[in-house]
Amino acid sequence: MNAGLRRAGASRAFRAGLIAAGLAALIVVFGLRSPAFTIGIVIFVVALLVSIMLHEAGHFAAAKAFGMQVTKFFVGFGATLWSVRRGETEYGIKALPFGGFVKITGTTSMDEVDPAVEPRTLRAKPAWQRSVVWVAGSFMHFVIAFVLLWALAAGIGLQRLAATTVTILPCVPASSTAACTPADPRSPAALGGLRSGDRIVAVAGRPVRDWTQLGDAIRSQPLGAGVPFTVERGGRTLTLRIRLATVAWRKGGYLGVEPAVTFARTGPLQALGFAGSEFGAMAAQSVTALGKIPAALPYLFARDRASTPGGQVSSMVGAADITGQVVAANLGWQQKASVVLEIIIDVNIFVGIFNLLPLLPLDGGHLAIVIFERARSSVARLARRPDPGRVDITKVIPVSVGVFALLVALGLLLLAADIINPLSLPQ
C-alpha cells in the first residue's frame, strides 16, 4: 500500500513529464514545416520545461524555509546522469529532460518515516505552512507571468496603432475570421498597388487622420468605380485608384487593410502598473477559458472550430503549434516576440489557476485537504470533542485516481484535436 501511495504522490511530477515528453516528440512532426517553425516549437518547449522546474523549485524553497526535510531535487526523469548531495538533499540531472520533481518527506499520512525525522515532515507542520508549500508551485507560475509582462512593457514595448498607416491583407476572406486560402481573390489593396507601411491621408479627396475616419470614408464610397486614395510613401505623396470589393459579412466597400502596429517602451514603474492590470485581466480570461472547456468539447473536430464556443481552448501541443506559426509568420521581430511572450504568459497563468482547483492529485486538492482538516479541527474544538486529526488518505485515493484518469482523457482529446484539426493564425 505504501508503495502505491508514493506513486500517487509522484503523479503530479509524472503528469508534467508526460506533457513535456509529448511536446518534445512532436517537434519532429511540427518541424517538418520550416526551420523557423521548428525554432518556435523549441522556444515553447524550453519555456514550458523551465516553468515546470520553477514550479517544483517553489515547493522546494517553501519546504526548506519551514525546515522540512527535502531529500531529492532532480531535473528530468529516468536514469540518473549526475547527482551531488548537499546536506540531506540530493541534487541531480536525469536522462530525460522532461520536467523535474522534488521529494518532501512525509507528504501523506501513510508514508513511513523515521520517528526522529517526523517533526520535520510535511504532514507534521502547521496548516498554514503546509498550505504555503502547496500554493508555492502555482505562485511561481504567477511570478513568471508577472515578470514577463513587465519585460514585455519595459523591454519590447506595448503595441500602438499607427494612425492611418496600413498593413496590406492579401485576400478577400470568406468571413471576418477566416484565413486566406489559394481560392480567395486578392484584396483590392493588393491589386491596387497599396503597400504595407503606406499612410493613407485622404480617400476621394476627404482627409483622414485616424482609423475611425479611414473606415468611415471607405464604407461611404460607391461600389463599382475606382476610388482615389492619397497615400504617403517614403516621403512622397501619390494617388492610387482602387476598386473596392463587396463582402457578405460587412456593409460598404472592402479595401483589405488593417492598422500597422508600432511599439512603445514604458518606464520601469509604468511597466509594473501594466503588469499588474494585465495580469488581472488575463487571470479572469483563464477562469473564463476553464468554464468554456465543456462547451468546446463537441466542436473540437468541427471545421469552424476557431469560431465555436470555447474554440480557442487547446492543449499544450496546440499552444506550441501556434507559437511555431508566429515565429514562422511574416511579422516584425517585436510582434513575434510580443505574441510569443503573451502565449507563454497565458500558459503560466492558466496552469497556475488550474493547478489550484480543489481536485486531487492537483496541488489544489492537497490544499483543500489541509483546509478541511483545519475546519474540522475547529468545529471539534468548539464542540469540545477530540481533534479528529489528519484525513485518512486511503479513502481519497480512489477519487484521486478517477480525477487523474479524467484529466488524462481530457488531455488526450485536446491533443488529438490539435493534431487532426489544429487552430491556425489568420493570414
DSSP 234: T
Asked if 16 and 95 count as a contact pair (C-beta separation under 8 A), the reply is no
Q: Which residues neighbour 281 within 8 Å (Cβ) at sequence distance 6 or greater?
A: none
Cα angle 409, 415, 418 (rounded to 5 degrees) comes to 145
C-alpha cell at 375: 475546519
C-alpha cell at 305: 472550430
Render 351-419 in DSSP notation, one character per residue.
HHHHTTSS-TTSHHHHHHHHHHHHHHHHHHHHTT-----S--HHHHHHHHHHHHHHHHHHHHHHHHHHH
Report the chain's terminal Cα–Cα distance, integer Å: 55
C-alpha cell at 153: 512593457
Q: Which residues neighbour 101 within 8 Å (Cβ) at sequence distance 6 or greater?
A: 10, 13, 56, 72, 73, 74, 77
User: Is 373 tagged catalytic?
Assistant: no
Residues belonging to the active site: 56
